[in-house]
Amino acid sequence: MAQPRFRSAVSPLRRSFTAAATVPAGLPASLPASLPSVEARVADLRPAEPMHCIRPAVLRATARHFVSGFAAALGGDVLYAVKCNPDPAFLRQLWKGGVRHFDCASPAEIRVVRQMFPDAAIHYMHPVKNRAAIRQAYGEYGVRDFSLDCGEELDKLLAETGNAGDLGLFIRLAMPKGTAAMDLSGKFGAERETAAALLRRARGIGARVGLCFHVGSQMLDPAAYERALALAGEVIAAAGVAIDVLDVGGGFPVAYPDMDPPDLSLYFEAIRRGVDRLALPAGTRIWCEPGRALVAAGGSVVVQVERRRGRELFINDGAYGSLSDAGVPGFRFPCRLVRPAGDSAAALTAFSFWGPTCDSADRMQGPFLLPDDIREGDWIEIGQLGAYGATLRTAFNGFDQARLVEVSDGPLLETAGHGIAARLPASAG
């Protein structure tokens, strides 16, 4: 009888590094001492498939800035939301930038983090987990922190860990519908009375307990964190127990062509004000769970134009691939022409994209601003795709081939308060 086969989607893309680069002693062979630019990669490889470009220096600089800024403002811990991009190449650079905590949502994410970083702090922050996943996380990978939003999930956790006395139990609090670009209020979260009751019950069981929430993805209003913290304070007061951790979640935004977020420091200041009003006991830890804010600027994808039809471009990646957010969600991304034969002097024109599949839903309305003389065979670099780019790719219609390369370039688009370019080494821009 044939044995079942398992395939994990949490795996790296095909890599293409510069074999001739000189590597200093002590560095892995896959990391050249001096990385080429995107233009050099295109000229050398002339890729006929999507080419994902990772910017190691950008990822390290972003992580250092976020970790140090959150620590300075709140003395807190930064948990990278692995679902945003689980590729080992990205995880490695975040680790080098000082990230030591990881928010995981599945056994596959837990496995890759534990294999890469045995000493990492892993937090299983998915509020609904199957029993086998709980057993694996606790027994095989040493995970002790779990989120939940109902009594049934707590019962499940206790049953599958043998009523362990070393659990960290974090109650996910429901948030009202907000103004984030992607609302997350519908799926998870306990209402106030339920959350308070769960906190009281968890306090008598867990080695440490906490409250967590999420204001929504790509939140452009720093005050949303203050409002959420006020709600959290009401729940803590109603529960009548001390907490060890308050997790303000993710949602920290990055810039897109039609989204210009406030300075990152304003988010930290808003959280600081909200926390101060709660008068939490000394020693209460503050956590956050950024994903997009840490990795978006650190990745891009280079696509090739396969046909031009007026102001519509048929390209070799699309909504079923790396550009899922450009499909139905309608995100616009920064983009530029990459033409090894020479730059274009043509005026910028608004284009829409069609992806490579046969599905008419594989459309990205944009508009994407590119030189008016763009033509078949040209390459386009699309930025801010370190977040949810390669992660959301499918194999629909067989268009699942892509490669990953490392480049020296800075980000295509800066986000206020991130100041990435100013912190990059001279050779990385």
| Residue 391 pLDDT > 60 | yes
- Is pLDDT above 70 for 405? yes
At 270-315, the pLDDT tens digits run: 999 999 999 999 999 999 999 999 999 999 999 999 999 999 999 9
According to the model, what pLDDT value does residue 16 have? 54
Same domain, 178 and 117: yes
- The domain of 246 spans 57-295
Q: Has residue 32 got a pLDDT over 70?
A: no
| Residue 10 maps to a domain | no
Higher local confidence (pLDDT), 4 or 269: 269
Q: Is 137 helix (H, G, I), strand (E, B) or coil?
A: helix
**Could you give the number of structural domains in the chain?**
2
Q: Could you list the beta-strand ranges (E) of 272-402.
A: 285-288, 299-309, 312-315, 335-338, 348-354, 363-371, 379-382
Dig out the tokens for 82 from the structure: 């692995």
Of 257, 275, 295, at which residue does a domain stop? Answer: 295
How many separate helices (H) and strands (E) can be counted in the chain? Answer: 11, 17
pLDDT at site 425:
60
Residue 13 near residue 404, CB atoms below 8 Å: yes
Residue 24 in domain: no
Co-location of 283 and 319 in the same domain: no
- 192 shares a domain with 135: yes
Residue 224 DSSP one-character state: H
- Which one of 254, 274, 295 terminates a domain? 295
Residues 61 and 40 in one domain: no
pTM for this predicted structure: 0.91
Does residue 21 have a pLDDT over 50? Answer: no
Nearest of 264, 282, 279, 275 to residue 220 by alpha carbon: 264
The 10s digit of each residue's pLDDT in 111-158 is 999 999 999 999 999 999 999 999 999 999 999 999 999 999 999 999
Determine, yes or no, domain membership for 16.
no
Instruction: Report yes or no: 156 and 169 within 8 Å, Cβ to Cβ.
Output: no
pLDDT score, position 15: 58
**77 and 38 housed in the same domain:** no
119 & 223 share domain:
yes
* pLDDT value of residue 10: 54
User: In this structure, are 291 and 329 located in the same domain?
Assistant: no
Single residue among 277, 295, 313 that ends a domain in this structure:
295
Average pLDDT over every residue of 329-340: 92
Rounded CA gap, 169 and 154, in Å? 8
* 425 within a domain of the structure (yes/no): no
Which residues, 6+ apart, have CB-to-CB distance to 271 below 8 Å? Answer: 73, 74, 225, 226, 229, 248, 286, 288
**pLDDT bracket for residue 8 (50, 70, 90):** low
CA dist 71 and 77 (Å) reads 7
Q: Are 224 and 266 in contact (CB under 8 A)?
A: no
**SS3 of 257, please?**
coil
pLDDT digits (tens, 9 = 90+) for 51-109: 999 999 999 999 999 999 999 999 999 999 999 999 999 999 999 999 999 999 999 99
Please state, rounded to an integer, the average pLDDT across all residues of the chain.
Answer: 90
pLDDT digits (tens, 9 = 90+) for 237-268: 999 999 999 999 999 999 999 899 999 999 99
- CATH number of the domain at 71, please: 3.20.20.10
Q: Which residues contact 325 (CB under 8 A, 6 or more apart)?
A: 331, 333, 388, 392
Residue with tokens 């490695």: 92
